[in-house]
Structure 1
Amino acid sequence: MKIPGVPPPDLPDLVRADDRISFLYLERCVIHRDSNAITATDAEGTRHIPAATLGVLLLGPGTRITHQAMMLLADNGSTAVWVGEQGVRYYAHGRSLARSSRLLVAQAEAVTHRDRRLAVARAMYDMRFPDEDTTALTMQQLRGREGARVRRSYRQHAQRTGVTWNNRDYDPANFANSDPINQALSAAHVCLYGMVHAVIVALGASPGLGFIHTGHERSFVYDIADLYKAEITIPVAFDTAATDSTNIPGDTRRAVRDRVHDAKLLTRCVIDIRRLLLSGTDDTDDNRDIVNLWDDTTGEVASGTNYEEWPEE
């Protein structure tokens, strides 16, 4: 029986992940399909985006997407993530961009093996101190070094902007009870968490399997976000608090949005996650449809094989 509609492409016909548009953000439009293209329609007209060249579609405020469009994304190995304005909130996601579980398996293996987990955690700290030799420092010493770095960053930006800084003091249950700079920091960090969360789930990694943070559903999100706070959210928060803003949360979110875009942070985040979990190995072949069977001696054996005739040990 012939299946109605445009047939999905064969796997070899799909565009390599490296050659795709990595993340495409859309807002305030209706998203549909026209043959093998995703269409985005707003007051200015309709734009066509070849689905085979799309990696991750970020659906911002005011978007409506049809069932046919979601089918086309799935057929072409793409994914959709529902986000806030310019990706500064994470709400939900479709399937992972990767067909392979390689990244997720590498993450799970590393986080459950003490030495591998320590190596990833140390690599995360090393990224904060690129000009220092931290090989002889313990995890406790690295945490202390990181705490001093963050406090120093607060003081430097307070001096740069003239914002009065006492300490990081906020109540998650009462946002308005904080002073302007702590409100700005909280708003900025939440935006960063949303962006990082969207990247993690798009790649097929687990947001809950953290290396430094642990025990929370977003532990890995916090791990990765901490790599960029001193560069992105802390300066943005102090810049916003130094203005006469009457809407600290909104102005901070927009400023973080712009800084993330200018710094090309989505692309950097993808590269950093792969480097941390795969130890610099190439992971560009995530779109392979490979299913193996687990074996307790060899690790993996081929699927699609009848093992009935194999001699028993």
Structure 2
Amino acid sequence: MSTVSRRGAPSPRELTRVGDRLSFVYLERCTVHRDDNAITATDADGVTHIPSATIGTLLLGPGTRITHQAMAVLGECGASVVWVGEQGVRFYAGGRALNRSSGLAEAQATAWANRRTRLEVARAMYSLRFPGEDPSGKTRQELLGMEGSRMKECYRRESARTGVPWKRREYDRNDFSAGDAPNQGITAAAQCMYGIAHAVVAAIGCSPALGFVHSGNERSFVMDIADLYKTDVAIPAAFDAAAEGEEDMASRTRRALRDRINETGLLDRCVRDIQRLLRYDDSRDEADGQDNMTLQSDGGLHVTSGRNYGDEPIW
């Protein structure tokens, strides 16, 4: 049997299409091994076999251990591995991105590098956050004003729905317990959403730092994506938890958010929304069937790599 170091990496054509994979597989409190071309998850209930080629992104939750051979077969199959908190509500570390192409990262960088397109993506983000609103033509100051009024409206709506009293948004980063129950829940939900968004951004190969609404932080784009689901996922979960009582708000909010994330298929929705916001069509990568490693030349020309151009013209 050949060693891992001697195995050739499969071409994209040999890999299972992204659309045919299981997208995100979450494991916790188990040991992950390799069995031929599958991985196994061993816990108190026994052994579960998972074909590695069908995994898009493997999320490793609390209490998991994974072997070197398991990581090797996941790498060969082009799967991404992310270490997360319970049900993905914390991001700790990430392995290689799921995609072999740089197309999505380049689409993000291209849109971010131009002020006009950066503002267009920001407007599209506000359109996703507040359906029925028309942010086209609005300045950034106007977008921020729109966000402020819509967030206040969301807090009032959720307070009326759950019967939880609401005064105003108060957050002390140095003292979580200083806020009342709904404020604690909103803070806990926001942190969870950052973990979810960071796991997705890392899995698909985007830059966490290149934000379109937020800026200046290594997780600016993560915060952009997390905010897309603040009013319809995070804040309702926080008020639901607050309606059950004031004790242990952080843990109960995480559990409420975990259930809502699973029910709504939020991880897959994140991927689709990012691709749409960046106007990226991944069918191009899948259709090529090969690694598209090129060299950049003048005038935006890309030439084939692996060749010496010293004695022959590029054109």
Structure 2: stretches of 5+ with no match in the other structure? none
Distance 1:199 1:112 in 2: 22
Q: Counterpart of 1:264?
A: 265
2:197 aligned counterpart, secondary structure: helix
1:21 aligned counterpart, secondary structure: coil
Amino acid at match of 2:124: A
Distance 2:165 2:131 in 1: 30
- Summarize the Cα distance change of 1:311–1:295 in structure 2 as closer, same or farther, 3 Å threshold: closer
Q: Counterpart of 1:3?
A: 2
Offset at residue 240 of structure 1 (A):
1.0
Q: Counterpart of 1:113?
A: 114
Distance 2:125 2:182 in 1: 27
- Summarize the Cα distance change of 1:126–1:96 in structure 2 as closer, same or farther, 3 Å threshold: same
Q: Percent identity?
A: 53
Candidates 297, 300, 303, aligned match of 2:299: 297
Alignment of 1:24-103 (within 5 A): 24-103=25-104
**Residue 100 of structure 1 contacts residue 288 of structure 1 at CA under 8 Å; is this kept in 2?**
no
Distance 1:8 1:31 in 2: 23
Q: Counterpart of 2:220?
A: 219
Distance 1:25 1:140 in 2: 40
Amino acid at match of 1:305: R
Q: Counterpart of 2:256?
A: 255
Amino acid at match of 1:300: H
Distance 1:241 1:90 in 2: 24
Offset at residue 302 of structure 1 (A):
1.4
Distance 1:117 1:243 in 2: 41
Offset at residue 288 of structure 1 (A):
4.4
2:211 aligned counterpart, secondary structure: coil
Offset at residue 133 of structure 1 (A):
2.9
Q: Counterpart of 1:285?
A: 285
Offset at residue 306 of structure 1 (A):
1.4
**Residue 8 of structure 1 contacts residue 76 of structure 1 at CA under 8 Å; is this kept in 2?**
no
**Residue 111 of structure 1 contacts residue 209 of structure 1 at CA under 8 Å; is this kept in 2?**
yes
Distance 2:26 2:9 in 1: 24
- Summarize the Cα distance change of 1:160–1:304 in structure 2 as closer, same or farther, 3 Å threshold: same
Distance 2:8 2:48 in 1: 21
1:210 aligned counterpart, secondary structure: coil
Q: Counterpart of 1:210?
A: 211
2:312 aligned counterpart, secondary structure: coil
Instruction: Provide Cα deviations, 1:49-106, integer angstroms capped at 9, x if missing partner.
Output: 1111111000000000000000010011001100000001000011111111111111
Q: Counterpart of 2:274?
A: 273
Instruction: Provide Cα deviations, 1:205-244, integer angstroms capped at 9, x if missing partner.
Output: 0111100100001100111111101001111111111212
**Residue 303 of structure 2 contacts residue 314 of structure 2 at CA under 8 Å; is this kept in 1?**
no
2:126 aligned counterpart, secondary structure: helix
2:299 aligned counterpart, secondary structure: coil
Distance 2:64 2:37 in 1: 20
Offset at residue 192 of structure 1 (A):
0.8
Distance 1:237 1:13 in 2: 44
Are positions 1:189 and 2:190 aligned together? yes
**Residue 18 of structure 1 contacts residue 284 of structure 1 at CA under 8 Å; is this kept in 2?**
no
1:304 aligned counterpart, secondary structure: coil
Amino acid at match of 1:201: A
**Which range is displaced more, 292-301 or 89-98?**
292-301
1:231 aligned counterpart, secondary structure: helix
Amino acid at match of 2:285: D
Offset at residue 310 of structure 1 (A):
2.3
Distance 1:212 1:66 in 2: 39
- TM-score under structure 2 length normalisation: 0.94
Distance 2:300 2:222 in 1: 33
**Residue 200 of structure 1 contacts residue 221 of structure 1 at CA under 8 Å; is this kept in 2?**
yes
RMSD: 1.9
1:39 aligned counterpart, secondary structure: strand
Distance 1:284 1:37 in 2: 28
Distance 2:137 2:117 in 1: 17
Offset at residue 300 of structure 1 (A):
1.7
Structure 1: stretches of 5+ with no match in the other structure? none
Q: Counterpart of 2:310?
A: 308
Q: Which has the higher helix share?
A: 2
Amino acid at match of 1:226: D
Offset at residue 4 of structure 1 (A):
2.6
